[in-house]
Amino acid sequence: MNRIRIRWMIRVCIVGVVSIAGAQSVVAQCAFDWRPGDGEPTFEYTLSAMTTWDPDGPGPLPATLVVGGAFSTAGGVPAEAIACWDGATWQPLGAGINGGLNPRVYVLTVFNGDLIAGGDFTSAGGVSANNIARWDGMAWHPLGTGMNGRVRALTVHNNELIAGGQFTTAGDVAASRIARWDGMAWHSLGSGMGGSGASVFALAVYNADLIAGGLFTTAGGVSAYYIARWDGTAWNPLGMGTNNSVIALAVVDDALIAGGYFTATCGVEARRIARWEGTGWQPLGMGMSSTSTQFPYVADVTVYNGDLIAGGYFTSAGDEIANNIARWDGMGWHPLGTGVAGNYPWVTALAVYGGELIVGGAFTTAVDNVSPCWARWGPDCARGDLNCDQLVDSADVPLFVDALLSTQPLTVCEAYTANVNGDMDCAGGPRVDASDIQPFVDCVLGGLCP
């Protein structure tokens, strides 16, 4: 046992004694901000999709963050339209996604432990694959003969992979904008979606039913405006639907959240975002508006630090100025700093990874940092600084011990600051465990901070 470890154990004992004596720990209250130094990595064009993926499932490897879009390098590493990030470095997935006029990954999901990519392409890793492909961790594979048009949305429903987009055939069957893959073959879902230029842009599972959003006015031959529900045998409308395209869907706290270009649901004003709780649509405050485009939209939604996060193309949320990203705390909308900006400032994808909110799109800046297509928002406290006073010192020790020994879920701030070595768990969250002790001690006693 080395001296540092002995000093550490002594310190833990002191902390224990002090705690028993009734000393107060000052619980960390993080401010949140954009990460500095996001000039690297860069993507050349746009980032369209993100998902966490654990390559070995329950095995010891942590989850990685997989990003897709239209690019040929990620963090300076050659990567065709798809790449993965482990919190520190970028890697390609084999030879990536290629072929067609403008190869692009639009959507990612996980099915039976494998990563599924959908978009505009004709080959994956050198193998012929039309607009959809599967990565098993080692190699790319087609899913039958794929689709005859763009794949824009993916989800898993009743243990089958569901794909939506602009196609009219899937494998060798007719399938209008939506199809299901049972692991062996493609099948249609009723007669699919209809309407001029119909497309499915978003999919979700809500109350065991499949929900599809997009640009369409019928589903299964019945009227369904921009959103519809598949109950396993037939398509149904959701109320009166919306008055324009739905491009984002997410289930949050037993409610279905829809985002898109719409401004109303069933006569109720709901600007670009609305909530469905089984019987009717509700707006989220005043929603989103813009002074820079006639056609603002919400393109993706997620949950971070207990708030609903919406990203897209807008300049205000509620009565606050919010550039292309905003958070809803249940009462009102709030900006995330000064948001993101650029010639093509929109946000297209959101993810939570390593205790941070990851934002992807076509923007070039987040605050003053040059940050093409990629930015991170998280606790404004260094790893190890559990009380967020901008110093890593003995005052952080009791909080670190509390975090390490806690049987309760840690807050975003606690988990981020206690994960001193910056590694991830199998869900892509910060891993707070004994392997953080030595780096914490090195930081407190040796000044060797991450």
DSSP H helices, 258-411, are 397-405
Give 54 or 120: the residue with its C-beta nearer to Ca ion: 54
The DSSP line for 106-159 is EEEEEETTEEEEEEE-SEETTEE-SSEEEE-SS-EEE-TT-BSS-EEEEEEETT
Residues 6+ apart with CB under 8 A from 37: 369
Q: Report in angstroms how near the CB of residue 51 gets to Ca ion at its nearest.
A: 15
Q: Report in angstroms how near the CB of residue 377 gets to Ca ion at its nearest.
A: 20
Residues 6+ apart with CB under 8 A from 23: 398
Q: Looking only at Cα atoms, what is the longest distance across the chain?
A: 75
Note whether 170 and 186 are within 8 A (CB).
yes
Q: How far apart are CA 230 and CA 192, in angstroms?
A: 10
Q: Report in angstroms how near the CB of residue 76 gets to Ca ion at its nearest.
A: 26
Q: Report in angstroms how near the CB of residue 117 gets to Ca ion at its nearest.
A: 20
Give 118 or 354: the residue with its C-beta nearer to Ca ion: 354
Residues lying near Ca ion in the complex (CB under 5 A)? 54, 56, 59, 61, 385, 387, 389, 391, 396, 419, 421, 423, 426, 431, 436
Q: Report in angstroms how near the CB of residue 381 gets to Ca ion at its nearest.
A: 8
Give 372 or 378: the residue with its C-beta nearer to Ca ion: 378
Note whether 276 and 327 are within 8 A (CB).
no
Q: Report in angstroms how near the CB of residue 412 gets to Ca ion at its nearest.
A: 15
Give 355 or 361: the residue with its C-beta nearer to Ca ion: 355
Give 124 or 410: the residue with its C-beta nearer to Ca ion: 410
Give 373 or 399: the residue with its C-beta nearer to Ca ion: 399
Q: Report in angstroms how near the CB of residue 360 gets to Ca ion at its nearest.
A: 23
What is the separation of C-alpha 344 from the centre of its chain, rounded to a whole number of angstroms?
20
Q: Which of 376, 373, 394 is nearest to 384 (CA)?
A: 394
Distances (CA, A) of 359 to 35, 95, 132, 296, 378: 11, 25, 24, 18, 11
DSSP letter at 245?
-
Q: Report in angstroms how near the CB of residue 387 gets to Ca ion at its nearest.
A: 4
Helix, strand, coil content of the chain in percent (nearest 5):
10, 40, 45
Give 217 or 438: the residue with its C-beta nearer to Ca ion: 438
Q: How far apart are CA 137 and CA 150, in angstroms?
A: 24
Q: Which of 410, 204, 404 is nearest to 305 (CA)?
A: 410
Give 369 or 421: the residue with its C-beta nearer to Ca ion: 421
